[in-house]
Structure 1
Amino acid sequence: MSDSHQYKSSGESGRSGRDPGNKRADRAQLEAKPVSLRRIARLFAPYRARLLLVVALIVVSSVIGLAQPFLVKHVIDTALPEGDTALLMLCVAAMVLVAIASAALGVAQTLISTEIGQRVMHRLRTDLFGHLQRQSLDFFTRTRGGEVQSRMVNDIGSMQSVVTSTATSIAANVTVVAGTVVAMMALNWRLALISMVVLPPAVWTTRKVAQMRYAVTSQRQARMADLHVQVEEGLSVSGILLTKTLGAAPALAARFEQTSHDLVGLEVRSQLAGRWRMATMQVVFAAVPAALYLAAGFPATSGALTIGTLVAFVSLQGSLFRPLMGLLNVGVDVTSSLALFSRIFEYLDLPVEIDDPASPVPLGEARGEVVFDEVGFSYDGSHPVLEDISLRVPAGGSLALVGATGSGKSTLAGMVARLHDPTSGRVTIDGIDLRDLDLADLAANVGMVTQETYLLHASVRDNLRHARPEASDAEIEAAARAARIHDLIVELPDGYDTLVGSRGHRFSGGEQQRLAIARTLLRDPRVLVLDEATSALDNTTEREVQAALDRLAEGRTTITIAHRLSTVRDADQIAVLDRGRVVEVGSHEELLLRGGAYADLVRGGLTVAA
């Protein structure tokens, strides 16, 4: 049996793609979120027959591989001394056939196990992606940046190698160790006992050196992670802009230099520790056969040992060390595997706070009347953000929300698109509670442009078509014209096929906003929510876009959050929010005559942040 097949899961840290220094983190993860083995088994249930076939291939391959030393024994003890050419040819042919059979079985086992692992990972990936898409906006605002991507890509990617290697390595190593011990006893029980005595201290020494390396490697990986973070933060588009505007380049360079300097020492220690491990293994590989040769030289321990038997025995003993180490490291492998499953299941078990109802009410062709009925909301259940808000926006009417920072305007407007659900009261469209609507039905009737524009790293056309994949080129251009962005697009090097670039930094803030407006208008929603949609535009561009929005708002219900008087003064009604409550409602003229909070905002220039 070839070393590459027999020892592919010998416990080396590189096999699973996870650093052994993560053992503590893995154990902590499992303590916090235990994993049911039955749940993992259910993932593999559809592939039960193929898994049994993999185990059978491993056992057969391992057993066949044990034939090599016995063939060598017959060559040395019989075929060569007696000049038995027929036996020699037979043994040599058998050696070649054993190697071919082992290689073929190894390829088949790898193919089947990899396919099973990939299918399970595909199912986990798609299930996790779909589940996370159903999470509320609150989940993503409270989750550390990069954590979701890490679990989606890194953890599931690591699971594939762990899943397809851990179980197969256990089966292969158990078979090899058991078969080798039996074969050694059959060849010479005295030498077998000597091997059993020598191996434990050799294994213990190797594991101690490995633990030393693991500790150093863990520190190195932590500093390497710091280095990656500094590269990402310092050399991204946003990071460069921040660095240049703050003049922080010298400080960042010094910080990067220190981290890189720390890595020099850790890398040297890691390589030295690795070298110590390799040196220890080399000593073991040399010392154990030396002890066997010594024992073979004494009549009391040799037992009339032949040269062929000794060579076969040393060959068998040499194949015992690595699989034995692999079995001793099974605990680490299993812990790593379970920890990865725990991290994925932790996300899959997250409750869906905003979901489709069990029996959705069809909205049909919406008129677009929006009603906030005694709405209250709190993020944590104890500190209210909105309290007892009741507003009605007739179909085709317009409502402007104004107020100071933190007054709850964006939270209230976001409820129309079900970014949040009220903790008390209800929000309705045409008299139907939004929580009774299918989410796809709601999304088809409510369009929202936020103050934070997000553009995909794709062409302009694909960015716009993201809102409605079936939209024709003519419809895309019509939406762009309405948002006053068509003329700029056609002047780009590749027109609508021009690549937007990372996060849309190729375009100015105003241009990004107009692209976002065009993208939303392409869906032609009955209800339009504009959360500071013109905040990044200059006065001239804002007037152009606002004129387009005014025309497109005809017959459409529009809810607008803005800090400019020109944006809100023509609304049918204006609601002034203060600390989560509506303090005034009326038209621009009515509220000015009252001389209350709205009049104060107007006198102050109505430059209120969102």
Structure 2
Amino acid sequence: MEMNKGGGFGRGSRGFLTEQEKANRPKVTGKLLRRIGSYLIPYWKQMVLVLVAILLSSILGIVPSILAGRIIDDGLIGRNLNSLISLTFLSLLVTLGANLIGVLESYLNTWIAQHITFDMRNKMFRHLQSMSHRFFTTNNQGDIITRMTSDISGVQQIITNTLTSILANSITLIAATVAMYRKNWILATVGILIVPLFTIPTKRVGKARWTLTREAQACNDEINGILNETLSVSGQMLVKLFSMESHEYKRYEAANHRMIGMNIRENMAGRWFRLVLRTFSSIGPMLIYLIGGILMMRYDADLTVGDITVLVALLGRMYSPVNSLLNIQVDWIRSMALFTRIFDYFDMPVEIKNSPDAIIPDRSEGNITFSHVSFEYEPERPILKDISFSLESGKSIAIVGPSGAGKSTIINLIPRIFDATEGVVSFDGIDVRKLDLGFLRSNVGVVTQDTYLFNGTVRDNLLYAKPDATLDELKEACRKANIHDFIEAQPDGYDTIVGNRGLKLSGGEKQRISIARVLLKNPSVLIFDEATSSLDSISENLIQQAIEPLIASHTSIIIAHRLSTILAADEILVLSDGKIAERGVHNDLIEAGGLYAELYETQFRLVPDAAGKQ
């Protein structure tokens, strides 16, 4: 446990394990240690230099204490001015040397830690990018970000603090102990027996302060929660709509007041601790002076004032290392837990990945076939059951059905957002699992219901699909998506900032930019997943005008609730409870009087078609 200046514990110092940490204490194995070591191996030369620097710095650090004895005996008591000057100068040089070596050690430590965290962050980001969509829908987003940021940043602290602290404190302790026993074994033994007494107040007060720190952290988490909820875009809107400003202020004020009280108690605990610490830290030197004086005057004529001074100085050098090493178990357990959390993510299997001999065809036609395809997230809850259909290049299929029937799941199987549990999804006659992922996804364009735009310009968001696209290509795609005129009418044109998640644009404007972005990919297959849902009739009509020509000129799959879009498809699939309940064209399905006819009567007939008729 590290102390701050003055002997107190810094805020957030954690010298004690929580109950949860004790219960989830990681199992330290040789395999885990070797895996941790694998990140250090590339930097073994720098690690050797760090070890040498720590060794030299720790040894040189106690030399001035030893020289202090000679300065007193030879220089002051012996009245030898030359010795006084030379020894004082030598002490200063040694101190300067130790400090310079400490700076070098700190630089090397930081350099190694930064490069290791650089490697780990890159590896983690690449690994997370390769994880399936299932991973991101089932895991907490905050936890994912924590692994990428706080956990890996913690590794840097382990390398710069924990590992070097163990080495430096151990070397300092050994060197100080050897030097003390070389001076006088009796006084050295007395001093070492006193050291454990020094740790008693450290433990007791440290535990009390850690309890206060945990309470303060819980209160801080509450405050952060209030800020996140009320100062976000959606939260602020809700607060204003319900006129809850006063209520939220009082809630924040109460939490803030509790935090102030806890901070005061925590800081005062540190003040009393330093008082107790100073008292205990003076016991050792007093005993050495007392016993040393008795030995010097009665039993050991060779023992000098300088020797006693050296022993007192060395004893003072031992306090901090002993205290740190006594608490190293806590740091060690936390370090292992941190690595275990990171490795748990690294060990998560990549569900959707390229086959070792992935196929990259010379061209793409866009023929799609589902052959007895089933899919499930969990064995007891199947989503799709024995789905079979074919879509020829240049044709279009509309998929309709009640909410939860499995419509979106079907289209997610084509670009391998998920893989079928049973059966085969083929693209141009090849199982999609055998195709190169980059090739497959570049030839499948999906316009989703929930449009996502990055917080940048219109141009930035369009170039995400094709970074080397020219302005003419951007404009052509936007004309096809029926959004070019709107963009040109803006003061900044294609450099207009869209805002966080595109909040500066309407739903229809975002959706049309999304269509233009997909068109820039020039995919073989276009998929529209409820692209016009949740929009007003004007926006819906503008998007419809953009979609219908695209359906006529591309291989298309449409999930829609608008009748004119469905009528434009070459075939209609009606899904119910994960199965294809009906299939055919509009008139035939109406005459059949089944589920499609029911959907038509309750939903489609009430929605205006492209001509504005019902």
Higher mean C-alpha displacement, 466-475 vs 326-335 = 466-475
Q: How many residues align?
A: 602
One of 468, 493, 496 as aligned partner of 2:494 = 496
- Describe the shift of the 1:274–1:125 C-alpha distance in structure 2 as closer, same or farther (beyond 3 A): same
Give the aligned partner of residue 409 of structure 1. 407
Give the aligned partner of residue 214 of structure 2. 218
The 1-side partners of 2:538 and 2:238 are apart by 28
Give the aligned partner of residue 162 of structure 1. 158
The 1-side partners of 2:83 and 2:158 are apart by 44
Describe the superposition over 1:409-448 as per-residue Cα deviations: whole angstroms up to 9, x where unpaired: 1111111121111111111111111111111111110111
Letter in 1 for 2:521: R
Q: Give the % identical residues.
A: 38
Give the aligned partner of residue 130 of structure 1. 126
The 2-side partners of 1:390 and 1:302 are apart by 102
Is structure 2 residue 339 aligned with structure 1 residue 374? no
The 2-side partners of 1:393 and 1:96 are apart by 85
If asked which structure has higher relative contact order (CA below 8 Å, sep 6+), I would say 1
One of 145, 150, 158 as aligned partner of 2:146 = 150
The 1-side partners of 2:221 and 2:423 are apart by 47
Give the aligned partner of residue 208 of structure 1. 204
Higher mean C-alpha displacement, 122-131 vs 188-197 = 188-197
One of 575, 578, 587 as aligned partner of 1:577 = 575
8 Å contact from structure 2 (residues 212, 265) kept in 1:
yes
- Describe the shift of the 1:78–1:21 C-alpha distance in structure 2 as closer, same or farther (beyond 3 A): closer
Letter in 1 for 2:546: A
8 Å contact from structure 1 (residues 447, 525) kept in 2:
yes
One of 342, 356, 360 as aligned partner of 1:362 = 360
8 Å contact from structure 2 (residues 394, 554) kept in 1:
yes
Q: CA RMSD in A?
A: 2.5
Give the aligned partner of residue 70 of structure 2. 74
Output the TM-score relative to the length of structure 1: 0.93
The 2-side partners of 1:585 and 1:18 are apart by 66
One of 319, 324, 343 as aligned partner of 2:317 = 319
Give the aligned partner of residue 39 of structure 1. 35
Structure 2 gaps, min length 5: 608-614
- Describe the shift of the 1:524–1:13 C-alpha distance in structure 2 as closer, same or farther (beyond 3 A): farther
One of 42, 59, 65 as aligned partner of 2:55 = 59
- Describe the shift of the 1:291–1:418 C-alpha distance in structure 2 as closer, same or farther (beyond 3 A): same
8 Å contact from structure 2 (residues 26, 340) kept in 1:
no
Higher mean C-alpha displacement, 236-245 vs 526-535 = 236-245
8 Å contact from structure 1 (residues 27, 335) kept in 2:
no
- Describe the shift of the 1:13–1:30 C-alpha distance in structure 2 as closer, same or farther (beyond 3 A): farther
8 Å contact from structure 1 (residues 8, 169) kept in 2:
no
- Describe the shift of the 1:10–1:475 C-alpha distance in structure 2 as closer, same or farther (beyond 3 A): farther
8 Å contact from structure 2 (residues 451, 511) kept in 1:
yes
Letter in 2 for 1:604: T
Give the aligned partner of residue 294 of structure 2. 298
Is structure 2 residue 459 aligned with structure 1 residue 461? yes
- Describe the shift of the 1:220–1:32 C-alpha distance in structure 2 as closer, same or farther (beyond 3 A): farther
One of 74, 84, 102 as aligned partner of 1:88 = 84
The 2-side partners of 1:287 and 1:494 are apart by 75
For the residue of structure 2 that corresponds to 1:577, the secondary structure is: strand
8 Å contact from structure 1 (residues 23, 332) kept in 2:
no
Deviation at 1:45, TM superposition (A): 1.3
For the residue of structure 2 that corresponds to 1:585, the secondary structure is: strand
Give the aligned partner of residue 506 of structure 1. 504
The 1-side partners of 2:217 and 2:89 are apart by 49
- Describe the shift of the 1:435–1:14 C-alpha distance in structure 2 as closer, same or farther (beyond 3 A): farther
Letter in 2 for 1:306: T
Describe the superposition over 1:547-586 as per-residue Cα deviations: whole angstroms up to 9, x where unpaired: 2222233442111111222332211111111111111111
- Describe the shift of the 1:494–1:32 C-alpha distance in structure 2 as closer, same or farther (beyond 3 A): farther
The 1-side partners of 2:405 and 2:539 are apart by 28
The 2-side partners of 1:285 and 1:492 are apart by 72
Describe the superposition over 1:116-164 as per-residue Cα deviations: whole angstroms up to 9, x where unpaired: 1111111111111111111111111111231111110111112111122
Deviation at 1:537, TM superposition (A): 3.3
The 2-side partners of 1:204 and 1:345 are apart by 37
8 Å contact from structure 1 (residues 9, 169) kept in 2:
no
Deviation at 1:524, TM superposition (A): 1.1
Give the aligned partner of residue 187 of structure 1. 183
Give the aligned partner of residue 258 of structure 2. 262
Higher mean C-alpha displacement, 509-518 vs 599-608 = 599-608
The 1-side partners of 2:6 and 2:431 are apart by 60
Give the aligned partner of residue 540 of structure 1. 538
8 Å contact from structure 2 (residues 574, 596) kept in 1:
yes
- Describe the shift of the 1:8–1:477 C-alpha distance in structure 2 as closer, same or farther (beyond 3 A): farther
Describe the superposition over 1:251-305 as per-residue Cα deviations: whole angstroms up to 9, x where unpaired: 5445434433432343233223333332332222233223333333434788444
Is structure 2 residue 101 aligned with structure 1 residue 105? yes
Describe the superposition over 1:149-186 as per-residue Cα deviations: whole angstroms up to 9, x where unpaired: 11101111121111222111111000100111111122
8 Å contact from structure 1 (residues 10, 325) kept in 2:
no
Higher mean C-alpha displacement, 587-596 vs 206-215 = 587-596
8 Å contact from structure 2 (residues 9, 270) kept in 1:
no
Deviation at 1:595, TM superposition (A): 2.3
For the residue of structure 2 that corresponds to 1:406, the secondary structure is: coil
One of 461, 479, 484 as aligned partner of 1:481 = 479
8 Å contact from structure 2 (residues 17, 330) kept in 1:
no
Give the aligned partner of residue 3 of structure 1. none
Describe the superposition over 1:483-532 as per-residue Cα deviations: whole angstroms up to 9, x where unpaired: 22223323334332233222221112222212222211111111111111
Give the aligned partner of residue 529 of structure 1. 527
For the residue of structure 2 that corresponds to 1:440, the secondary structure is: helix
For the residue of structure 1 that corresponds to 2:414, the secondary structure is: helix
For the residue of structure 1 that corresponds to 2:141, the secondary structure is: coil
- Describe the shift of the 1:415–1:334 C-alpha distance in structure 2 as closer, same or farther (beyond 3 A): same
Deviation at 1:14, TM superposition (A): 5.3
Residues 330-349 of structure 1 correspond to what in structure 2 (within 5 A)?
330-349=328-347
Give the aligned partner of residue 231 of structure 1. 227
Residues 559-570 of structure 1 correspond to what in structure 2 (within 5 A)?
559-570=557-568
8 Å contact from structure 1 (residues 69, 316) kept in 2:
yes
8 Å contact from structure 1 (residues 464, 519) kept in 2:
yes
The 2-side partners of 1:197 and 1:601 are apart by 87
Output the TM-score relative to the length of structure 2: 0.92
Deviation at 1:246, TM superposition (A): 5.1
The 1-side partners of 2:269 and 2:477 are apart by 63
8 Å contact from structure 1 (residues 375, 423) kept in 2:
yes
Describe the superposition over 1:193-247 as per-residue Cα deviations: whole angstroms up to 9, x where unpaired: 2212221122122112111211221222122122212211221112223334455
For the residue of structure 2 that corresponds to 1:372, the secondary structure is: strand
Give the aligned partner of residue 238 of structure 2. 242
Deviation at 1:49, TM superposition (A): 2.5
The 1-side partners of 2:351 and 2:145 are apart by 21
8 Å contact from structure 1 (residues 10, 326) kept in 2:
no
Letter in 2 for 1:79: G
The 1-side partners of 2:184 and 2:600 are apart by 100
- Describe the shift of the 1:407–1:302 C-alpha distance in structure 2 as closer, same or farther (beyond 3 A): farther
Higher mean C-alpha displacement, 312-321 vs 75-84 = 75-84
Letter in 2 for 1:401: I
8 Å contact from structure 1 (residues 68, 95) kept in 2:
yes
Structure 1 gaps, min length 5: 1-5
Give the aligned partner of residue 469 of structure 2. 471
Deviation at 1:331, TM superposition (A): 0.7
One of 124, 136, 139 as aligned partner of 2:135 = 139
- Describe the shift of the 1:298–1:154 C-alpha distance in structure 2 as closer, same or farther (beyond 3 A): same
The 1-side partners of 2:8 and 2:448 are apart by 50
Residues 379-390 of structure 1 correspond to what in structure 2 (within 5 A)?
379-390=377-388
